[in-house]
Amino acid sequence: MKLSEANEIAIDPRVRPILTTHEAAEILCRKPQTLRVWASLGRGPLQPVRISGRLGWRTADVLRLIREGSK
């Protein structure tokens, strides 16, 4: 998986530190339900943050996972 520079700018962690489940799933080419399963089981390559009871995903963690997967 590789992100273009335009996509990296669009999800800059300084601008958007937290992504929704749908946003993170789209970037990772996964279904939102996959991320929800990771969260409910407490396993997976990413750990969510909860904001007012909703799942959020750290942009920096999503980008790190993409970079590690592209090596």
Q: State whether residue 10 is helix, strand or coil.
A: helix
pLDDT recorded at residue 33: 98
Q: Is residue 1 part of a domain?
A: no
pLDDT tens-digit profile, the chain (71 residues): 455 444 554 677 788 899 999 999 999 999 999 999 999 999 999 999 999 999 999 999 999 999 998 65
Q: Is residue 13 part of a domain?
A: no
Q: State whether residue 19 is helix, strand or coil.
A: strand
Q: Is residue 4 part of a domain?
A: no
Q: Is residue 49 part of a domain?
A: yes
Q: Which two tokens stand for residue 1?
A: 């998986």
Report the number of distinct structural domains present in the chain.
Answer: 1
Q: Is residue 5 part of a domain?
A: no
Residue 59's nearest CA partner among 2, 5, 18 is: 18
Residue 58's nearest CA partner among 18, 7, 27, 28 is: 18
Domain span including residue 37: 19-69
Q: Is residue 14 part of a domain?
A: no
pLDDT recorded at residue 70: 60
